[in-house]
């Protein structure tokens, strides 16, 4: 190996051989994550397009289906995720100023909040399963077959169709709901795994003011996953609720 032309002295154990210095390595890592997040936006973009298209085609079906979602759980989950973004940002901050103990505590808090989100999401999924709202034959033993409420009936386990909405159109909404929130939950699970990895090496004392790019980069990912939810919550749970009494 030859480092003859390197401008700066180096010797940090985390410096990989093909980088000249820690600054270059940090820049590459951060830019890499930003580029990756761009691909993620495009990935979710396909589903956002499908949402937009079918919502404009079947507004009353989307309102009917959206009304059936549990807005309280959705709202609580939104709060949980925003809080987790805060603890993540604090963890990055404490790494940069070299305070190891609060950094580790913030990481643990982020992981717990992430798991709380997933737990609440699981409860919501279970309710949809019980109401036979899982689209198509995704669960072969329980195909999409919700009970439809008659005019004026009040039953939160039955589907209240508004206007000219049909059950098939509601199914389309639920497929988009499960595709988007499911893909989001998958990203949360991967994120929780990455945070556990960070926690392990933080406890071993690997990160500090000189070397904090893994904490930053995984933090970026975590914020991205949160932001996706910030879009999903209003689109799936809130928009169209005003049509309820039409």
Partner 1 sequence: MKEFEAFDLPQPSKVNYINAQYGLKSWLLTKDHKRIALLYLGSITFFFFIGGLYAMMIRLELLTPQGDLLQSTTYNKVFTQHGIIMVFFFLIPSIPATLGNFLVPMMIGAKDLAFPRINLLSWYIYMAGGLITIYALLAGGVDTGWTFYTPFSTTFSNSYVVAAGLGIFINGFSSILTGLNFIVTIHTMRAPGMTWFRLPLFIWSHYATSLVMILGTPVIAITVLLLAFERVARVGIFDPALGGDPILFQHLFWFYSHPAVYIMVLPSMGVVSELIANFSRKNIFGYKFVAFSSLAIAVFGFLVWGHHLFVASQSVYAGMIFSFLSFAVAIPSAIKVFNWTATLYKSSISFDTPMLYALGFIGLFTVGGMTGLFLAAVAVDVHLSDTYFIVAHFHYIMVGGALMGYLGGLHYWWPKISGRMYPEGWGRFSALVIFVGFNLTFLPQFVAGYLGMPRRYHAYPPEFQVFNVLSSAGASILGFGMLIPAIYFVWSMRYGKVAESNPWHLPGLEWRTQSPPPTENFEATPIVTWEAYEFAPPEETQVVGKFAGELETA
Residues in contact with partner 1 by CB under 8 A are 1-2, 4-7, 16-20, 24, 27-28, 31-32, 35-36, 38-40, 42-47, 49-50, 53-54, 57-58, 135-138, 166, 168-169, 171-172, 175-176, 179
- CA–CA gap between residue 28 and residue 25 (Å, rounded): 5
Sign of the C-alpha dihedral computed for residues 212, 215, 220 and 226 taken in this order: negative
24 C-beta neighbours (distance < 10 Å), count:
15
Least CB distance to partner 1 at residue 72 (A): 27
31 C-beta neighbours (distance < 10 Å), count:
11
Rg of the chain (C-alpha set): 23
Least CB distance to partner 1 at residue 187 (A): 13
Least CB distance to partner 1 at residue 188 (A): 18
The smaller minimum CB distance to partner 1, of residues 182 and 209, is found at 182
Least CB distance to partner 1 at residue 44 (A): 8
Least CB distance to partner 1 at residue 114 (A): 23
The smaller minimum CB distance to partner 1, of residues 39 and 101, is found at 39
The smaller minimum CB distance to partner 1, of residues 41 and 203, is found at 41
Q: 147-166 burial by CB neighbour count: b if 16+ within 10 A, else e?
A: eeeeeeeeeeeebbbbeebe
Q: Is residue 192 classed as helix, strand or coil in its secondary structure?
A: helix
- Among 73, 69, 96, 65, residue whose Cα is nearest residue 208: 96
The smaller minimum CB distance to partner 1, of residues 45 and 98, is found at 45
Least CB distance to partner 1 at residue 116 (A): 28
The smaller minimum CB distance to partner 1, of residues 93 and 231, is found at 231
The smaller minimum CB distance to partner 1, of residues 107 and 180, is found at 180
Q: 172-203 burial by CB neighbour count: b if 16+ within 10 A, else e?
A: bbbbbbbbbbebbbebbeebbebbeebbeebe
């Amino acid at each position: 190996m030859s480092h003859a032309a390197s401008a700066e002295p180096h010797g940090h154990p985390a410096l990989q051989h093909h980088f000249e210095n820690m600054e270059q390595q940090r820049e590459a890592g951060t830019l890499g994550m930003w580029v990756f997040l761009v691909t993620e936006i495009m990935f979710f973009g396909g589903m956002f397009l499908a949402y937009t298209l079918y919502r404009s085609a079947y507004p009353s079906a989307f309102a009917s289906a959206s009304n059936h979602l549990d807005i309280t759980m959705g709202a609580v989950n939104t709060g949980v995720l925003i809080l987790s973004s805060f603890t993540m940002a604090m963890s990055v901050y404490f790494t940069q100023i070299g305070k190891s103990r609060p950094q580790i505590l913030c990481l643990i808090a982020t992981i717990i909040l992430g798991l709380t989100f997933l737990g609440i999401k699981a409860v919501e999924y279970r309710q949809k399963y019980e109401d036979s709202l899982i689209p198509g034959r995704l669960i072969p033993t329980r195909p999409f077959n919700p009970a439809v409420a008659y005019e004026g009936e009040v039953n939160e386990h039955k589907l209240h169709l508004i206007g000219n909405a049909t059950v098939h159109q509601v199914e389309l909404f639920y497929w988009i709901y499960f595709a988007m929130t499911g893909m989001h939950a998958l990203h949360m699970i991967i994120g929780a795994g990455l945070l556990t990895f960070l926690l392990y090496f933080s406890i071993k004392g690997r990160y500090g003011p000189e070397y904090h790019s893994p904490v930053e980069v995984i933090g970026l990912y975590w914020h991205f996953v949160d932001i996706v939810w910030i879009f999903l919550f209003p689109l799936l749970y809130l928009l169209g609720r005003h049509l309820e009494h039409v």
